[in-house]
Amino acid sequence: MNRTPVIVVHGGAWKIPEEEHGPHVEGCQRAAAAGWEVLRAGGSALDAVETAVRLLEDDPTFDAGRGSCLNAIGEVELDAIIMDGQTLRLGAVAAVRRIRNPVTLARLIMEKGPHNFLVDSGAEEFARQHGMGLIPSEELVVERERARWEAWRAGEGLYAAELFNSTGTVGAVALDREGHLAAATSTGGKPGKWPGRVGDSPLVGCGAYADDRSAAASATGDGEALMRILATGAVCARVGAGKSPQEAAEEVLALLAERTGGYGGLIVLDPRGRYGIAHTTPHMAWAVVTPDGTCRAGIRVR
Ligand code: GLY
């Protein structure tokens, strides 16, 4: 099969402050362009989504890797998943504190380990034993998030007052020349979360799913709600049953609102290269590179 590659990325669905729109668009654009370059050169969809998500993790704009929000005790805890649509293999990691690129650890777990999903110190020990350097957790903390946390702790209600308080979880879906799909998602979770809290992002069928026979999808938004409807599994199943990616994404977000009252955003890509982007939050940051190599990016507004 010789497909023309496509990649779609997101940089979170929430109420993105006006002054952060520019960096969100630029970060998504850079990530999508880098992922597309991998695909253009004949690389796999897995390589493309890992490349794109690594860039988003390294960009302090987003709630993933460096720049992630802080939990209730002022620490970073990171979750990520990667999934291969050809084999249905996946790797996932949760609550790690000393990993610069959790998506790459998720891929290492998928390719080198006997298990799919490792958490906390076990995941970090797996990383260490497989030659991935551990970093001091403080290197992942940026001043913006420290200040937000201080304000939250001082009872200023910065997060509690906001419905769309999740910051920018990131994700990517890609289709390669061989016709294979992949998906990846990475996050610092919710600000002020309970230590040890795991959201939807690293859970298969919730934060991401990929199956060459249906679609690849990545989710962002209210993790407690998204996991209750298996958001990305539900959207891929709908595409497999004949819905377009856009229709399927909108239907699943409507279901999310109806059944849980929750909010979120989805990117979806099918094996024909058709994609959908939908959200029920005020904003969603996104970028796409279509078969002719055109990169488009923006902040969708509702
Ligand atoms: N969707 C990201 C989280 O809730 O952790």
- Catalogue all structural domains in the chain, each as residue range(s) with its CATH number: 6-301 (3.60.20.30)
- pLDDT band of residue 288 (cuts 50, 70, 90) is very high
- pLDDT band of residue 157 (cuts 50, 70, 90) is low
To test the pocket of ligand 1, the residue of 187, 224, 260 to mutate (highest count of ligand atoms within 8 Å of its CB) is 187
* pLDDT at site 166: 61
Q: How many residues does the chain have?
A: 302
User: How many angstroms separate the CA atoms of 226 and 170, rounded?
Assistant: 15
Q: Is the pLDDT of residue 1 over 70?
A: no
To test the pocket of ligand 1, the residue of 69, 193, 206, 226 to mutate (highest count of ligand atoms within 8 Å of its CB) is 226
Closest-CA residue, ligand 1 atom 5, reads 189
How far is ligand 1, taken at its centre, from the CA of residue 225, in Å? 9
User: How many angstroms separate the CA atoms of 106 and 94, rounded?
Assistant: 9
* pLDDT at site 237: 98
Q: Which atom of ligand 1 is nearest to the CA of 63?
A: 2
Catalytic entry in 61, 104, 167, 169: 169
* pLDDT at site 26: 98
How far is ligand 1, taken at its centre, from the CA of residue 186, in Å? 9
If you average pLDDT over residues 7-20, what whole number do you get?
Answer: 94
233: left (phi over 0), alpha (psi -120 to 50) or beta: alpha
How far is ligand 1, taken at its centre, from the CA of residue 233, in Å? 16
Q: Which atom of ligand 1 is nearest to the CA of 198?
A: 5
Q: Encoding tokens for residue 251?
A: 């239907």
Q: Is the pLDDT of residue 163 over 60?
A: no
User: How many angstroms separate the CA atoms of 182 and 9, rounded?
Assistant: 12
Ligand 1, residues at Cβ distance < 6 Å: 166, 169, 187, 189-190, 199-201, 220-221, 223
If you average pLDDT over residues 137-166, what whole number do you get?
Answer: 78
Q: Which atom of ligand 1 is nearest to the CA of 221?
A: 1
Q: Is the pLDDT of residue 167 over 80?
A: no
Q: Is the pLDDT of residue 198 over 60?
A: yes
Distances (CA, A) of 239 to 187, 255, 257, 295: 25, 15, 20, 24
Q: Encoding tokens for residue 231?
A: 């958001």
Q: Is the pLDDT of residue 79 over 50?
A: yes
Burial readout 239-271 (b: 16 or more C-beta within 10 A, e: otherwise): beeebbbbbbbbebbeebeeebebbbbbbbbbb
Q: Is the pLDDT of residue 161 over 50?
A: no
If you average pLDDT over residues 18-44, what whole number do you get?
Answer: 96
pLDDT in tens, 88-126: 999 999 999 999 999 999 999 999 999 999 999 999 999
Q: Is the pLDDT of residue 87 over 80?
A: yes
- Is residue 67 within 8 A of residue 146, CB to CB? The reply is no
How far is ligand 1, taken at its centre, from the CA of residue 108, in Å? 22
* pLDDT at site 98: 98
pTM over the 0.85 mark: yes
User: How many angstroms separate the CA atoms of 62 and 23, rounded?
Assistant: 9
pLDDT in tens, 244-267: 999 999 999 999 999 999 999 999
Q: Which atom of ligand 1 is nearest to the CA of 226?
A: 1
To test the pocket of ligand 1, the residue of 169, 186, 224, 229 to mutate (highest count of ligand atoms within 8 Å of its CB) is 169
Q: Encoding tokens for residue 132?
A: 């991935």
pLDDT in tens, 225-240: 999 999 999 999 999 9
| Whether residue 280 lies in the annotated active site | no
User: How many angstroms separate the CA atoms of 103 and 105, rounded?
Assistant: 5
pLDDT averaged over every residue in the chain:
94
